[in-house]
Chains A and B, each alone.
Chain A
Amino acid sequence: RKEVEQDPGPFNVPEGATVAFNCTYSNSASQSFFWYRQDCRKEPKLLMSVYSSGNEDGRFTAQLNRASQYISLLIRDSKLSDSATYLCAVNTDKLIFGTGTRLQVFP
């Protein structure tokens, strides 16, 4: 089993839709969690950290479920500009990235 797993997608959604991604991790000792966004032929960029109590940044909501060992990212009111690959990252003694979930928002 991979340390960090994501559904590769692609998720094809219309503008205005709500979409959610999950990311599971295998090491229960993992301490910190992040979501990154990567555009085509660009570097990964930090989207948001994931806190135990859950956190929100505009249209984006991140949650952590330690009991089931997954993190989630919810995007409300999808925009065309949200089209990208979303990578989760989980840290124990080093940061391990998932392979990413591709999101395509269409008009």
Chain B
Amino acid sequence: DAGVIQSPRHEVTEMGQEVTLRCKPISGHNSLFWYRQTMMRGLELLIYFNNNVPIDDSGMPEDRFSAKMPNASFSTLKIQPSEPRDSAVYFCASSLNRGAQPQHFGDGTRLSIL
């Protein structure tokens, strides 16, 4: 079975550029989560969707970050403009429902902003 699929796996870009991260959740899962992981702050929840609707975006650090889920099989996380402090690993995860069931993670996107 296909797991959560993220792209790209690695992204290196210069500050000020727009960055778009993509995620395809596990088929049938109705909750999708975007996380950011750094050594200093650990794994932080940025935003999550339930049935394609954003439920909680309180973890989104700034207006430079935005996320969309236009349908049940696709989500994007966009950073515009990007800054060096955005460098981190960004994970997407999905679950059957947001609470009782565990989340399954994609391989992550390793983002470096120069």
Is there an interface contact between B91 and A43, defined as CB atoms closer than 8 Å? Answer: yes
| B99 contacts partner chain A, Cβ-Cβ < 8 Å | yes
CA–CA, A43 and B56, complex, Å: 22
Query: Per a CB cutoff under 8 Å, which of A45, A91, A96 touches B105?
Result: A45
Question: What number of residue pairs across chains A and B have CB atoms under 8 A from each other?
Answer: 44
| A80 contacts partner chain B, Cβ-Cβ < 8 Å | no
CA–CA, A51 and B43, complex, Å: 23
| A27 contacts partner chain B, Cβ-Cβ < 8 Å | no
**Which residues in window 61-114 of B have CB below 8 A to A?**
91, 98-100, 102-108
Is there an interface contact between A94 and B48, defined as CB atoms closer than 8 Å? Answer: yes
How many chain A residues touch the partner (CB < 8 A)?
A: 20
User: Which A residues are CB-close (under 8 A) to B56?
Assistant: 93-94
Q: A23-40 CB contact bits vs B (8 Å, 1 = yes)?
A: 000000001101000000
CA–CA, A95 and B32, complex, Å: 12
Q: With A43-B108, A94-B56, A95-B33 as given contacts, are A34 and B45 in contact (CB-CB < 8 Å)?
A: no
| A62 contacts partner chain B, Cβ-Cβ < 8 Å | no
Closest residue of A by beta carbon distance from B108:
A43
Is there an interface contact between B98 and A94, defined as CB atoms closer than 8 Å? Answer: yes
Is there an interface contact between B106 and A43, defined as CB atoms closer than 8 Å? Answer: yes
Q: A88-106 CB contact bits vs B (8 Å, 1 = yes)?
A: 0101011111111000000
- A interface list, Cβ under 8 A from B: 31-32, 34, 42-46, 49, 87, 89, 91, 93-100
Provide a sorted-by-A list of 8 A–B residue pairs whose CB atoms are within 8 angstroms: A43-B91, A87-B43, A93-B56, A93-B98, A94-B48, A94-B56, A96-B45, A97-B42
5 nearest A-B pairs in the assembled complex, by CB-CB distance: A99-B42, A43-B105, A97-B43, A46-B102, A32-B100
